[in-house]
Structure 1
């Protein structure tokens, strides 16, 4: 390695060290990652997780692998690890906690039975945006409504009124769409039967394209 290359490498490493705080020795790395993943609304890449906790990517990757094994009940003899009702799954270039497939039905039944049937005004507005603009990402929904929609989207997902359609391969953003449950509750056969919204807008374009239903 030449002197110039060595200096360049040192500069890059110094920059990275300045940008990323050191991980606190007082925290358990696996538990810290677990806490972040529990509240994440979208898949988190290893690099993003490493930045969040201020730990080296290699160390974070090892910790993520350990969490996967832990949740699967494969933490090793003497660890007391049991197979959880949720799993850490790699999707869309990142990691996110999901309910295990075999428990989907019981969780769905619980959510639908326990949650009140009436949706808030914010939930209704967000649901309308998704219905008319699907597939659409959470960021795009927030841009149209000009408010944070994280909790509302979680509510609609929990009610089974919307679903994750696909993850954008470039941005990693999840795109949402409506479900058959919503159609049945609205009493329509398809989204195409929804009334046109353009005539209700001042110029037919505010927040929506002119050719929107």
Structure 2
């Protein structure tokens, strides 16, 4: 085999990637060749380009991810290919995805900083799971009281999500929903026209001279609270009454 020929080298690289089943970096590929037969780096790159071109129109593609190059099934076939495995694909909770997204976009980041953005405590199980899957790692400790660990993503994270580098992450706009929405002050909130009309009609029926010009949500909520104060919420006595024998009806005296 003429390894200096990019076409022949391309076929060999395809065999190596298919056999390995995992990403291989260019350096790792070069190490598989004896020094005397090892092609030049430029020939390797040309062979990889030829391999990528040969995948056009086929069910798989050559993809460069964080750990190197790999041959993988094209994404559009995944719904059918996934049926080869009986177990269902892993589903991730929203809390885990939010935590992972914050680490990816704002790394290095501490657990406390994640909690400040999300507004809730980070479950220790989430951090443990991400560490066990090797999607994140501890890259240092913040120089503040307590020395909290700083987290960052790994090459395994890039490989799993089909990314070559962090620059391939989607736009940061995907995290907009994590930002807390501004709270609307009750006194400044305008009542919908339909609700205001009903309030005006009710006031007029009660004999008010003129309908109120403005009704705030605070007053409406206060009114609802007053309406709920006298409501019955304990119905245990009904159960007791049902268990007691009923008395015969008294004769009708006329």
Q: Normalising by the residue count of structure 2, what TM-score does the alignment of the two structures yield?
A: 0.32
Q: Rg: which structure is higher?
A: 2
